[in-house]
Amino acid sequence: MLQHFFSPASVAVIGASNQPGKIGHDIVNNMKLSGFEGAIYPINPKATEVLGFKAYPSVTTIEGPVDLAVIVIPARAVLGVMEECAEKGIDSVIIITAGFKEAGPEGIEMEKELGEIARRAGIRVVGPNCLGIISTQTGLNASFAPVFPQRGSLALMSQSGALATAILDWSVQNGIGYSKFVSFGNGLDVGVIDLLRAWEDDPETRVIVAYMEGLRNGPEFMRVAREVSLKKPVIIVKSGNTQSGARAVSSHTGSLAGSGEAYSAAFKQCGVIRAHSVEELFDLAVAFAYQDLPRSRRVAILTNAGGPGIMATDAVETAGLQLATISPETVERLRTTLPPASNFHNPVDCLGDADAARYNFATDVVLSDKNVDSALAVLTPQTSTQPLETAQGLAKFAAQHRKPVLACFMGGGAMAGAIKLLGGQRVPNYAYPERAVKALSTMVAYREWREEPPDEIEPFPADADVVRRIFDEAREQGRVNLGEVEAREILRAYRIRCPKNEVAITADDAARIGDEIGYPVVMKIVSPDILHKSDIGGVRVGIRNRQEAMDTFELMMLRIRRYAPNADLRGIAVQEMIQTGREVILGSTRDPQFGPLVMFGLGGIYVEVLKDVSFRVAPFGRRHAQQMIDEIRSAPLLRGARGERPCDLDAIATTLLILSQLVTDFPEIVEMDINPLKVGEPGAGAMAVDARITITG
Ligand code: ADP
Ligand code: MG
């Protein structure tokens, strides 16, 4: 796929120039210097020759076939040249030129036309407004990047050209190698999804890294990213928040879900590894590129310093990795050579005066322990430390034992040579233990994700017709907000349990219903115009007898009429009171990129103040429903920590799954909250005591 972009036999550079400093010059010059062996055709009607290559007035005058065209002429001339490329039968074009979509209405129009020409002629386009493409394997530098990285196993795609030049420059300095590099700019045609597909089975590429700002097709991205992630790690930095539109947000879920949450959820669901900064992107990329995946969570820490050893130990525990138990045989072997004051158990401390021989001996012995599946080697520069020799030994034994080893050689000038040596030997080094542990735990998590069975979607029985009828009715009446009464009917159609409930029109009604349901009961105002009932005194809980029910009816009616004189009051619901259980919130909102997003959190201040919530893109299966519950910080409360009663977590998971099905079945649901869902003890189930739905008009 996209073969001609990465290994063309011939490249035309349209806008080639002899004048240093012009992009059209730099590109031809880069192609010349990078060792590209195919034909290079500079296009420039005013020149006969550019940088030693014969120049042509246009692509149509080239005799032989052209696999790839690179366009660097001013924007207004690009459309005409695209037509010529089409005529010449060129199927791959890189448009470096800026001044399109990013430059205002005229540019938007030109970019649209560009797209039409490309589609009609079957031309694939990278750009416009981009830095270009590099393929180290074929020596192709179809970019104006001032550096050419060494060959390696990372494939990088970037939506930002400027950031990409910085990354390439830094990579060259740090000896980080690439298989392919694409800056796709405005992404008129080729974008994240195409490049994932192109690199999925590329034997040169071990790790795919991406800097991206936005996506066009969320669901398609998730499908492709999942398939690719099962083959090789995909690490993405996503920056910028896309506008979710000017839609007024009326639900909790809507106000808590920025597009950042949708991306995080989507990435988790398709195995994409999210980096939160470019620094983290490379911390992770290098670990995946250089080392094999750890077989388990069991890690050994080697150190010549107490403090950093403890930092590493803390980081290992926080990250959910396991400190490997060093076997008695290994301890015995260590004792033969290490001084008696050493620590022979994890973290294995060879002490500050360890020279390379002692440290390397410990490395070899610890890595041969069958309880150890990976190692973190911490070294600080002390008087007897031999950084270079220690680095050599570390690299040697890491390769010999075929277990992933990450280094943390801490320091500046004293360590520079050793760190360089480690990089050359494909041992990633980190400035601090926390960063090394983060890389290692990400590798473990990725491996575990790959080995998980797929998250099957369970179907639940439901009367979709009931829901359709309610939505139609509301729309006929010109309403998009559905209050508790209608929302209850919808939840029931999807078999979510709700408390007994009946609407009273008179005080006598209220008493009769109260008697039937049995006290205590809850009374709530019913009005399509009132969405937050308790805000205006429209909810009373704990009504103990028929007299109280009657009084409450009169009082509430009076009060609401005063507070909301224009509201259409339909009566007061008398509802079974659910006396025990914890209040949680479940909700859904629609993300412009990914579609329905389901939210979970604890009720009350946990959601309002602490914003302690988790998200998934619907539809999802039970494993993700469980993860949503586990992910919130207050999850231990639900499991029964600190004297709390444990909750029916299965019932929460099932309700999340039903909600996922409901919002998938009905794309017209823009937002909804079940707030609260009252959850009983394990086995007792859950009840939706309030709900609200907003649909499209
Ligand atoms: P709103 O969110 O519109 O103000 P709710 O129906 O959610 O109104 O009621 C407010 C609060 O009253 C709920 O969060 C819950 O704590 C309590 N409540 C409401 N209905 C019941 C019920 N049936 N059983 C127990 N508590 C209830
Ligand atoms: Mg509520």
Closest ligand 1 atom to Cα of 535:
4
Q: Are strands 298-303 and 374-379 parallel, antiparallel or unpaired?
A: parallel
For 445-456, what is each residue's pLDDT tens digit?
Answer: 999 999 999 899
CA of 322 to the centre of ligand 2 (A): 42
**Which ligand minimizes its atom distance to the CA of 586?**
2
Indicate the range of 85-94, 252-261, 575-584 predicted with least confidence.
Answer: 252-261
Cα first-last separation, the chain: 43
Q: In the prediction, which pLDDT does 246 show? A: 33
Contact status, residue 100 vs residue 40, Cβ threshold 8 Å: no
Q: Given this model, what pLDDT does residue 251 score?
A: 57
Please, what sign has the CA dihedral across residues 471, 258, 439, 304? Answer: negative
Kindly tell me if the per-residue pLDDT of 40 is higher than 60.
yes
Residue scoring higher pLDDT (283 or 259): 283
Distance CA 284, CA 593 (A): 26
Per-residue pLDDT reduced to its tens digit, 558-568: 999 999 999 99
Predicted confidence band of residue 247 (pLDDT cuts 50, 70, 90): very low
The gap from C-alpha 531 to its chain's centroid, in whole angstroms, comes to: 33
Query: Do 485 and 533 form a contact (C-beta atoms < 8 A)?
Result: no
Residue 162's pLDDT is: 87
pLDDT classification of 225: cutoffs 50, 70, 90: very high
The confidence score (pLDDT) of residue 243 equals 46
Confidence of residue 205 (pLDDT cuts 50, 70, 90): very high
Among 491, 522, 531, which is best to mutate for testing ligand 1, by the most ligand atoms less than 8 A from CB?
A: 522
pLDDT of the residue at 254: 61
Region 316-325: what's the mean pLDDT? Answer: 96
What pLDDT was estimated at residue 257?
Answer: 61
CA pair distance 657, 655, nearest whole angstrom: 5
Backbone angles phi, psi at 66, to 5 degrees: -120, 120
Report the SS3 class of residue 491: helix
pLDDT > 60? residue 475: yes
Ligand 1 pocket residue status of 533, Cβ below 6 Å: yes
Tokens coding 601: 């959190």
Q: Which residues of 3-35 are buried (b: 16+ CB within 10 A; e: fewer)?
A: ebbbbbebbbbbbbbbeeeebbbbbbbbbeebe
- Residue 585 Cβ contacting ligand 1 at under 6 Å: no
Better-scored residue on pLDDT, 348 or 593: 348
Distances (CA, A) of 666 to 250, 252, 660: 19, 20, 10
Question: How confident is the model at residue 250, as a pLDDT?
Answer: 52
Query: How do beta strands 691-695 and 132-135 pair?
Result: unpaired
Q: How confident is the model at residue 244 (pLDDT cuts 50, 70, 90)?
A: very low
Asked whether 52 and 22 are in contact (CB, 8 A), the reply is: no
CB 638 within 8 A of CB 647: yes
pLDDT score at 157: 97
Establish how many alpha carbons lie within 13 A of residue 574's alpha carbon, considering only the half-sphere containing its beta carbon. Answer: 29
Q: Are 62 and 44 a contacting pair, CB within 8 Å? A: no
Any atom of ligand 1 within 6 Å of the Cβ of 690? yes
Residue type, 346: N
CB 487 within 8 A of CB 471: no
Structure confidence at residue 258 (pLDDT): 62
**Separation of alpha carbons 507 and 304, rounded Å:** 80
pLDDT of residue 261: 87
Going by pLDDT thresholds of 50, 70 and 90, the confidence category of residue 78 is very high
pLDDT bracket for residue 248 (50, 70, 90):
very low
pLDDT single digits (tens) 542-557 = 999 999 999 999 999 9
**pLDDT tens-digit readout, 387-423:** 999 999 999 999 999 999 999 999 999 999 999 999 9
pLDDT digits (tens, 9 = 90+) for 476-526: 999 999 999 999 999 999 999 999 999 999 999 999 999 999 999 999 999
At residue 249, the pLDDT reads 47
Please list the residues that pair with 47 across neighbouring strands: none
Q: For residue 675, report the distance from its CA to the centre of ligand 2, in Å.
A: 4
Nearest ligand for residue 587 CA: 2
The residues with which 143 forms a beta bridge, in sequence order, are 132
- Contact (Cβ atoms closer than 8 angstroms) between residue 499 and residue 490: no
Q: Alpha-carbon distance 344 to 338, whole Å? A: 9
Report how far residue 410's alpha carbon sits from residue 414's, in angstroms, rounded to the nearest whole number: 9
Token duo for residue 107: 């540019």
% of residues, the chain, pLDDT over 70: 97
Q: Side chain identity at 422, as an amino acid letter?
A: L
Measure 80 CA to ligand 2 centroid, in angstroms.
60
- Could you give the 3-state DSSP secondary structure of residue 525? strand
CA distances from 141 to 31, 201, 608, 675 (A): 5, 22, 52, 56
Q: Where are the beta strands (DSSP E) in 486-639?
A: 501-504, 521-526, 539-543, 571-576, 582-591, 595-602, 613-617
Q: What pLDDT sits at residue 642?
A: 79
What pLDDT sits at residue 11? 98
**pLDDT score of 83:** 97
What is the overall mean pLDDT for the chain?
94
Query: What mean pLDDT do residues 135-141 have?
Result: 96
- Cis peptide bond prior to 45, omega within 30° of 0: no
User: SS3 for 581?
Assistant: coil
Q: What is the arithmetic mean of pLDDT over 644-663?
A: 96
How far is 558 from 564, CA to CA, in rounded Å? 10
Q: What is the mean pLDDT of residues 275-299?
A: 95
Q: Is residue 87 pLDDT above 60, yes or no?
A: yes
Q: How large is the average pLDDT for residues 177-198?
A: 96
Q: Is the pLDDT of residue 197 over 80?
A: yes
CA nearest ligand 1 atom 22, residue: 577
Residue nearest to atom 20 of ligand 1 (CA): 689
> Residue 245 pLDDT > 50, yes or no?
no
Is the bond leading into 520 cis (omega within 30 degrees of zero)? yes
Question: Which pLDDT score, from 0 to 100, does residue 256 have?
Answer: 63
* pLDDT of the residue at 641: 83
Which ligand has its closest atom nearest to the C-alpha of 674?
A: 2
